[in-house]
Structure 1
Amino acid sequence: MSDIADVSLAYEGVKRIEWADRSMPVLRQIRERFAKERPLDGLRIAACMHITTETACLIRTLQAGGASVALASSNPLSTQDDTAAALVQEDGTEVFARAGIDREGYYAHIHQALETGPDLVLDDGCDLVNTLHIERTDLLPTVKAGCEQTTTGVIRLHQMAREGALRFPMVAVNDTDTKHMFDNRYGTGQSTLDGIIRATNTLLAGKTVVIAGFGYCGRGLAERARGLGARVVITEIDPVKALDAALQGFAVQPMAEAAVDGDVFITVTGNRDVVNAEHLALMKDGAILANSGHFDVEIDVRALEEMAVAVHHGVRPQTDEYVLADGRRLVLLAEGRLVNLAAAEGHPAAVMDMSFADQALTCAWLATAHASLPAAVHDVPKEIDTEVARLKLASMAISIDLLTPDQEDYLHSWRIGS
């Protein structure tokens, strides 16, 4: 039995899902193929994902392929109650999610999704897989394999594998080119700034925007912030990424230096305490704090609460103002959670089209390939990544060159010289 906020919201959810579906032509093609081939027939899937219209399009695709799906939310602030209602009412999906639910309710929903006894799991942040390995070990023998959607989750999975704790194969869907190169760079880059602007109505032109982390997400953010006229400062712990940022013309500083001048701070590292009490003490009046990493640990919100003498909640939607003893005001967006999903609508559907196409095709591959895979973290087969890119190009009416037989021979021979 599903646990959602209000099933009467289904009509609005259907309209929004259909709007997203218009921008997801690759996933639509896969859905049509799945409906004919039924590669997931009889399989039970438990998913812990952001419950958005784009996710709904993925769930419909998996169900078209024959799977039964139980869905829990991977972030209470990103749950769209109307989307959840539409999935329950129109598609027969078991959904366990309510917008704004507390931590206890969040994990209760994950447990409810797991109670369906999944054959495959889809995760976004590794909380579902973590719960399986710590609290629901009784279900592990029937889980064949799974997929992980985000950088933070892949990091956790690799640690589990190194410690010998991972009990079934997991595929790092996050690491495909059509996911991290486009979803992280173009999706996070646009949607994060969208969330910040919606929440604060601030003008980024002329502001100093400090971005913690220069992976694909950080690069996308930096490019788009610069395009809006901001002065961009990068903080990094990786010398190679820091050098890359510097050679692209961005200022690179330690956070303790950047904290003094920054107007807007955005964390996208996958680590904790990236903005800590030391940094908060240095920030100017009115500094804006936003996180676009998966978990709400990148900004030390507890330290901010302890430093504040007053907190003004809801000064704008998803915007809280913390007043410090010296009168400075620091502005925290979305409680330190994913600002692009809590204060905006997440990635554009056109970007999620590729990420979720990767997910769907990988699930179909795992339905048969799982038996030959060890309990480890695996890459998505290259042919899946290439197929998604090919389908996306075709949907955009873009053609590319093909290798001639002579070119194929040349690339595969070591005997031909200059």
Structure 2
Amino acid sequence: MESIIRDISLAESGQKKIDWVKGHMPLLNYFNEKYAPTQLFKGVNMVVTIHLEAKTAYLALTLKNCGANVTVTGSNPLSTQDDVAAALVANGVTVFATHACTNEEYDMYLDKALDTHPQLIVDDGGDLVNKLHTTRRELIPELWGGSEETTTGVIRLRALAEAGKLAFPMIAVNDSNCKYLFDNRYGTGQSVWDGIMRTSNLIVAGKTVVVAGYGWCGKGVAMRAKGMGARVIVTEVDPIKGIEAVFDGFETLPMAEAAKKGDIFVTVTGCKDVIRKEHMELMKDGVLLANAGHFDVEINKPDLEALSVKAPFEARQNITAYTLANGHQLNLLGEGRLVNLACGDGHPAEVMDLSFAMQFLAMRHVLENKGKLENKLYLLPAELDEEVATIKLRAMGFDVDKLSEEQWKYLHEA
């Protein structure tokens, strides 16, 4: 099947990006060296739907090197990097993805990928799984199972599983320790600020940052903002997380109060309408609005457009300015989509090395257990987390102690 990308002539630029991250992803290098000779996934049709940038490309190439027939699509219209997509095609991977594609094109790309009849899937956000449960159910008998990368996707899967509607086995890779403890906290924490700073070219120190949501992603965003000299306010709906934020040194307020004080707002809740009309009307002139949740619904864009008394305009690349009746200008970054990918390169390579190692092992786990898994949402076995952590530590030049036999008995025997 012929790929659909923007421009194959961009491949050289994309290859440089892939080569760079390859030098900082020792876990995927390890799996390449271990499983490419054995062709672990020989002949297996895989669809990978994740934000299409260099780290994802290297995961796809690793799976291909290990024998899989890999097809890649993006999981967000603004996160696809056209040069990386071109480099993948140049390396023999089928790709359906273009930067800033329309919603109709995005949907068509998913269908094109599913036309390859996958036996294993890697999803990010749940759009691929949703399509398989609705308009492409005819493919379910061929599917052995898959894995999910994000909190948002796992929430959607859990709802399907609890309703008894999940039609094939899925692994919640997001809930693996080597994923959410690092990707969600350190990856999101750094990449969100990378996206905001490179897009706005404004200082963080001295400003008041409002972080909506204090899950693992919110913790990372707040921690990095504090480290750069910002005053941080956290908004939450969970009082326990609210206390945790206070004990971590942050102020906790309802959004109606925080809206009056913030200079930069970052939503990272997984819910919708976190910032809406009544909050926008209270905001200072010149605030930055950024979203780090998977879907572009956390900042209510229809409300923002309705409040604007003149046509929104591009104040700077990737920044859309809205002018309110009181003369205040509110600046939306990356169309309210994932700011770390719409306005940056996503998580650091070293962090995604951990996440994608767990994705690789999830594919191996489903392959090795095909036909044995129920239509349920699974966690990867804890020993796989420990395997990945051990390899990563040693690659970084570190190690940990091991229990002696007597210590093990002390901890485990009655």
The TM tier, using the shorter chain, reads over 0.9
Give the aligned partner of residue 25 of structure 2. Answer: 24
Query: Hey, what does 2:70 align to over in structure 1?
Result: 69
Distance 2:376 2:240 in 1: 27
Other structure's SS at 2:152 match: helix
Deviation at 1:312, TM superposition (A): 4.1
Could you list the runs of 5+ residues in structure 2 that have no partner in the other structure?
A: none
- Number of the residue aligned with 1:234: 234
Secondary structure, in 3 states, of the residue corresponding to 1:372?
A: coil
Give the alignment of 1:255-266 within 5 angstroms: 255-266=255-266
Task: State the SS of the aligned residue for 2:22.
Answer: helix
Equivalent in the alignment of 1:104: 104
Distance in 1 between the 2:214 and 2:246 partners? Answer: 11
SS in 1 for 2:310: strand
Identity percentage over the alignment? 50
Aligned twin of 1:4: 5
**Aligned mates of 1:30, 1:311 — CA distance in 2:** 51
Q: Could you tell me how far apart the structure 1 residues matched to 2:345 and 2:356 are? A: 16
Q: CA deviation at 1:372?
A: 1.8
Query: Corresponding residue for 1:174?
Result: 174
SS in 1 for 2:229: coil
SS at match of 1:206: coil
Aligned residue number for residue 335 of structure 2? 335
Taking the aligned partners of 1:370 and 1:337, their CA distance within structure 2 comes to 36
Deviations 1:191-229 (A, max 9, x none): 101111111111111111000011111001111100111
Structure 1 residue matching 2:78: 3-state secondary structure:
helix
Per the TM alignment, residue 335 of structure 1 is displaced from its structure 2 partner at its CA by 0.3
Q: CA separation in 1, counterparts of 2:38 and 2:254? A: 53
8 A contact 1:11–1:86 mirrored in 2: yes
Query: How far 1:314 moved relative to its partner?
Result: 2.4
Distance in 2, Cα, partners of 1:263 & 1:62: 43
Per-residue CA deviation, residues 239-270 of structure 1 (Å, 9 max, x unaligned), is 22111111111100111110111111000011
**8 A Cα contact 1:27 1:353, kept in partner:** yes
What residue number does 2:42 align with?
A: 41
CA displacement at 1:36 relative to structure 2? 2.1
Partner residue, 1:351 = 351
Alpha-carbon displacement from aligned partner over 1:252-307 (angstroms, at most 9, x marks no partner)? 01111101111110000111111111111111111110000111011001110111
Question: Using the alignment, how far apart are the partners of 1:358 and 1:311 within structure 2?
Answer: 45
Contact kept, 8 Å, 1:27 with 1:357, in 2: the verdict is yes
**Cα pair 2:292 2:339 within 8 Å, conserved:** yes
The CA distance in 1 between the partners of 2:348 and 2:199, in whole Å, is 18
CA contact (8 A) 2:390 2:399 kept: no
Secondary structure in 2 matching 1:76: coil
Q: Tell me how far apart the structure 1 counterparts of residues 11 and 287 of structure 2 sit (CA, whole Å).
A: 39
1:367 partner SS: helix
Distance in 1 between the 2:143 and 2:277 partners? 42
> Does the 8 A contact of 1:125 with 1:150 survive in 2?
yes
State the shift of 1:38 in Å.
2.0
**Alignment match, 1:54:** 55
- What amino acid is the match of 2:325? A
Q: Is the 8 A contact 2:305 2:312 kept in 1?
A: no
Residue 198 of structure 2 aligns with which residue?
198
The root-mean-square deviation of aligned C-alpha atoms, in Å, is 0.9
Matches of 1:36 and 1:366, distance apart in 2: 20
How far apart in 2 are the matches of 1:239 and 1:67? 46
CA distance in 1, matches of 2:20, 2:183: 19
1:131 and 1:355 map into 2 onto residues whose CA distance is 24
Any idea what SS the aligned residue of 1:260 has?
coil
Retained in 2: the 8 A contact 1:319–1:334? yes
Q: Which residue of 1 aligns with 2:321?
A: 321
Q: 1:38 corresponds to which letter in structure 2?
A: Q
Question: 2-side partners of 1:149 and 1:257: how far apart?
Answer: 34
Q: Contact 2:77–2:99 (CA<8 Å) still a contact in 1?
A: yes
Q: Are the counterparts in 1 of residues 287 and 331 from structure 2 also a CA contact under 8 Å?
A: yes
Deviation (angstroms), 1:37: 2.5
Structure 2 matches for 1:140-289, cutoff 5 A? 140-289=140-289
**Alignment check: 8 A CA contact 1:80 1:99 kept:** yes
1:134 is displaced (CA, Å) by 0.6
Secondary structure of 2:320's counterpart equals strand
Distance in 1, matches of 2:80 and 2:34, equals: 29
Question: What secondary structure is seen at the aligned counterpart in 2 of 1:370?
Answer: coil
237-246 vs 310-319, greater mean Cα deviation: 310-319
Distance 2:371 2:238 in 1: 37
Shift of 1:108: 0.4
Check conservation: 1:34, 1:61, Cα contact below 8 A: no
TM-score with structure 1 length normalisation?
Answer: 0.97
CA contact under 8 A between 1:192 and 1:339: conserved in structure 2? yes
The amino acid that maps onto 2:88 is: L
Does the aligned pair in 2 maintain the 1:288–1:333 contact within 8 Å? Answer: yes
CA distance in 2, matches of 1:8, 1:224: 38
1:345, 1:42 → 2: CA distance? 31
State the distance in 2 between where 1:363 and 1:311 align: 48
Report the counterpart of residue 406 of structure 2 in structure 1: 406
**1:169, 1:370 within 8 Å by CA — same for their partners in 2?**
no
User: Structure 1: 5+ residue runs without aligned partners?
Assistant: none
Distance 1:170 1:219 in 2: 27
Contact kept in structure 1, 2:277 and 2:304, CA below 8 Å: yes
Pairwise CA distance, 1:369 = 1.4
**How many residue pairs align between the two structures?**
413
Shift of 1:370: 3.2
CA deviation vs aligned residue, 1:20-53 (integer Å, no higher than 9, x gap): 1111011100111110222212210112111010
Q: How far has the Cα of 1:313 moved from its partner?
A: 2.9
Runs of 4+ displaced beyond 4 Å: none
